[in-house]
Amino acid sequence: MIQHCPSPTELDDLELLVSGAYAPLTRFNEPGSVVTLALPDDVVEAELVDPEGLPLARVSTDGALEPLTHAQYGPFRRLHLTPTQVREHHAGATFVPVADALTDADLADLRGLGRVVLLALTGTGTGSLSPVALLRASLAAAALLDDAAVVAVPLPAHGDADADHALGTRVVATYAGPDPVHALADADEPGELPEAIAAIVEEDRPAPEEQGLVLFFTGLSGSGKSTLARALMDLLLEQGGRTVTSLDGDVVRRHLSAGLTFSRADRETNIRRIGWVAAEIARHGGVAVCSPIAPFAETREQVREMVESAGGAFFLVHVATPLEECERRDRKGLYAKARAGEIPDFTGISSPYEEPEDPAVRVDTTGRSIEDALQDVLVALDRAGFLHLTGADA
């Protein structure tokens, strides 16, 4: 039986299916259900493992799940209770679904309800706070109430608002059993937060100037990616205040991706490796400047997702210098070799380049100085609020 690591949303769904929180639903891929699992082609049975390889459950041909092990690690794992455990510990309380940090007004609303259980909806894509910050904020809120407990419910979003609302309502009702559910009022304006909660939110949502940032230059060989990336890094280092890491295409291929070819599969692997490292840099608030060709839109999107789920911002720069100009420059003599058939799968000649449809900025360097072309990038970064750099000729 093959091992398969589900996506973060599928892992959340798996936990809720196995815990009984999705009852009466007990398996993936029931007709009409948004709780789905995509297995690799032709696979109908698999052992589902977490990202570290711990076997969580077996899924059989008919879609039935056989639980194997419960996840034991991860921050606040102790707050992940099944509905049965919640009934044992918290019967008689009022149940309150919580998707965001509680405001002063929310807390005032909850006082007087007696014992409350805050069901923190920590699933992938559900709230704007990270799961750990939502739990920290909910625990801080509980400490400000007379008698409150927090339970983590990893209810993910499935991209269908109506279905997700219906599913969420059912899950909350399953946890509450016969006890009352209290919905917090939808505020039009963001409300005032108690000091302890505001500090948690601030730490989780840094200002754009402090947020981890991945500057991703994509374009044909010879378009000017490395040149612009290097010039930008120099300005950043001159200004100081941020840690900066370069992930240049050629350099990565000499180290992290040594041995990979230019086949589609190897290029995707190369870009995902760059994305993985860049996301870790962003997670710690650093700036990663990447400059690979990255010819495939789907792989670039995967990098964006990796970076954003690590709390970073992804800023895509399309260095849109046309093929004719790149070939005219032919700084490394590679285009001549590719035309002569000496280099197979050469981007722009015998291998595709998918132009980004929605880059943060597009720069054609033809007939322009490096400083001038860089200025377009600096202006876009400034407008987005991520970096405020002044070019050498500004």
Of 115 and 253, which CB lies nearer to ligand PPS in the complex structure?
253
Return the structure tokens found at 269: 């692997």
Nearer to ligand PPS, 90 or 267 (CB): 267
For ligand ADP, the binding residues in 284-343 under the rule CB under 6 A are 291, 319, 329, 331
378 is in an annotated binding site: no
User: Does 111 contact ligand ADP by CB under 6 A?
Assistant: no
Measured CA angle at 210 (ends 135, 205), to 5 deg: 25
123 labelled ligand-binding:
no
Strand-pairing partners, residue 391, are none
Interface of this chain with ligand ADP, residues 198 to 257, rule: CB under 6 A: 219, 221-228
Helix or strand (DSSP H, E) at 232: helix 225-239
Between CA 233 and CA 29 the distance in angstroms is 48
Residue 232: C-alpha distances to residues 22, 217, 225, 244, 259 (Å): 50, 11, 11, 10, 29
- The pairing of beta strand 287-291 with beta strand 244-248: parallel
Written as one string, the DSSP assignment of 294-353 is ---HHHHHHHHHHHHHTT-EEEEEEE---HHHHHHH-TTSHHHHHHTTSSSS-BTTTB--
Interface residues with ligand PPS (CB under 6 A)?
Answer: 221-222, 226, 249-250, 253, 262, 267, 270-271, 292-295, 332, 334, 343, 345-347, 351
CB of 215: closest distance to ligand ADP in angstroms?
14
Which residue's CB is nearer to ligand ADP, number 213 or number 293? Answer: 293
174 in contact with ligand ADP (CB under 6 A): no
Dihedral sign computed on CA atoms, order 70, 71, 76, 82 = negative
123 or 356: CB nearest ligand ADP:
356
316: amino acid identity, one letter: L
Q: Compute the least distance from the CB of residue 322 to ligand ADP, in Å.
A: 13
370 binds, among ligand ADP, ligand PPS, none (CB under 5 to 8 A by kind): ligand ADP
Q: Is residue 351 a known part of a binding site?
A: no
Considering the rule CB under 6 A, would residue 368 count as an interface residue with ligand ADP? yes
Q: Report the nearest approach of ligand ADP to the CB of residue 12 (Å).
A: 40
CA distance 197 to 203: 10
Binding residue ranges for ATP: 219-226
Interface residues with ligand ADP (CB under 6 A) are 219, 221-228, 291, 319, 329, 331, 365, 368-370, 373
